[in-house]
Structure 1
């Protein structure tokens, strides 16, 4: 049994706790917050027996075998280092860290100490992405890929009202690219590997980070465009076009309905069965990793995705 200590008391931590309950060999033993009352309230809500005040307290707890980090993005690198140095396996919410260099350093540190470090990128372990990969064989040579994750956030209303919020605060490592754009970018990397080049545009908002953006990635023989937004919604699906057919994907972060249309043929609908909690797959993968599964490919995919993020952040906001 892997007993998780959870760092953070946001809604994503609550969803994570629900996912853990669905995975054999995993449980939640403690919740950590700098505010003891907040930690106790959250622990009661998710059914965790213990609390910790701060990360050091959590890492020293005898009933914590691994930690799940759902703190502000800017805190991840230092918290990973502390956990790894304590010999505690780490599952860290995406984006794992802010830059590819930070990730490379974190992975090297974890390997040196023999500690598991995995990014909680749920899309990578979603059965829908496996279904997309399987359907690619029906398309012939791929020529164009269009992936998008655009969902207006209620937090944007806070920005419009003149208030700062972590998820859109550049000082906290926030912004639409790091919060939502990483999903289609990571899916792109998992499906097709690293592009030869990437360029893009990010549109700034009042909080001085990006509210939306687009990227164009170049591969040998095809191009991929990626769109993300936290200030607008879309009804458009993602799409992959090949010389022999096309594939529509309802939601690239968690594909549930795919439509394969052969060239000149009849569309075929693929419905993807999945867990009701999309974080179950990442928990299973982490449990397997702690048991000895090889996660080199997972860590490389995170590094490649963060490299793309680095390149896109290198340009000023529009």
Structure 2
């Protein structure tokens, strides 16, 4: 049984612990938080026996195999490095790091320590995403890819009123492309690899952070575009268009909850969606557990390469748009 500990107490930790509870071969044994009372509701809900307010003390516990990081984005690198140096596996929330240099350093350290290091990006672990990957050859020559993830943030009003929540703070590596645009990037890059070039045109707030924006990624034979917004809401839809057909994803690209395959030649449309687990992070936790238990280095390397590619594109796009983070080189 793998023992996992968590860092953070926000809503995504609740979702992650629900996925842990739904999987076999893993259980949560500890939580780290700066204030014990912040973790108590989750600890009670998921029967987590230990809460730590000293991270080094928690990481010194030999029974812990893995640590899940759900801290503000700018702390991902710091915590992951500390955890790896303690000889434990790491699952780190998206965006993996603030820049590609941090990403490369962490994966090199993981290799040195002989530990697994994962980005918690649920998109590429979902059954529907992998079914879409299988269907791509049926679309013929790809011509256009479009992805939209727009969701009005519960913290946007506070930002407009002069506050600076972490998610809208450059010092914490916040912004729309980091928070939700990253799902669009993973969807596109995981299917098609690195683009030849790209650019991002953001709507910037008073502190220089992007509250929304659209990007273009140029590939040798087609163009991909994405839009992400935390200052407005729309239908979230992703489309892949080819000469023989198309695929329409009728959900956030993070979930890939439902999609339709359109056959242009036969003039038919068919919902080919596979069932979605009620624990939205179930598949990613299942995959991480299996990779560790089976020492599946090949699959680990595939996921590592995807994360590195996305971080390269992510940094290129945001820096090209003039978005700077506190820990940029």
Q: Which runs of 4+ in 1 moved over 6 A?
A: none
User: Does 2:228 match 1:225?
Assistant: no
Corresponding residue for 2:327? none
Corresponding residue for 1:273? 275
SS at match of 1:235: coil
Kindly indicate whether the alpha-carbon contact (under 8 Å) linking 1:39 and 1:52 is maintained by their aligned counterparts in 2: no
Query: Relative to structure 2, which stretch is displaced further, 74-83 or 287-296?
Result: 287-296
TM-score (norm 2): 0.93
Mind listing any 5+ residue stretches in structure 2 that lack a counterpart? 324-329
Corresponding residue for 1:39? 39
SS at match of 1:95: coil
Where does 1:67-78 land on structure 2 (aligned, <5 Å)?
A: 67-78=67-78
User: Does 2:283 match 1:302?
Assistant: no
**CA distance, structure 1, for counterparts of residue 246 and residue 318 of structure 2:** 31
SS at match of 1:226: strand
Q: Pairwise CA RMSD of aligned residues?
A: 1.5
**CA distance, structure 1, for counterparts of residue 92 and residue 55 of structure 2:** 14
**CA distance, structure 2, for counterparts of residue 233 and residue 113 of structure 1:** 43
SS at match of 1:282: helix
- Deviation digits for residues 194-246 of structure 1 (CA, Å, limit 9, x no counterpart): 11111121111245310111111111211101111111111252111101112
TM-score (norm 1): 0.96
SS at match of 2:260: strand
Kindly indicate whether the alpha-carbon contact (under 8 Å) linking 2:149 and 2:237 is maintained by their aligned counterparts in 1: no
Structure 2 CA distance for partners of 1:260 and 1:303, relative to 1, 3 Å: same
Kindly indicate whether the alpha-carbon contact (under 8 Å) linking 1:202 and 1:317 is maintained by their aligned counterparts in 2: no
Structure 2 CA distance for partners of 1:269 and 1:316, relative to 1, 3 Å: closer
How far the C-alpha of 1:126 sits from its partner, in A, is 1.0
Mind listing any 5+ residue stretches in structure 1 that lack a counterpart? none
Corresponding residue for 2:140? 140
How far the C-alpha of 1:317 sits from its partner, in A, is 5.2
SS at match of 2:9: coil
Where does 1:226-265 land on structure 2 (aligned, <5 Å)?
A: 226-235=226-235, 237-251=237-251, 252-264=253-265, 265=267
How far the C-alpha of 1:276 sits from its partner, in A, is 1.1
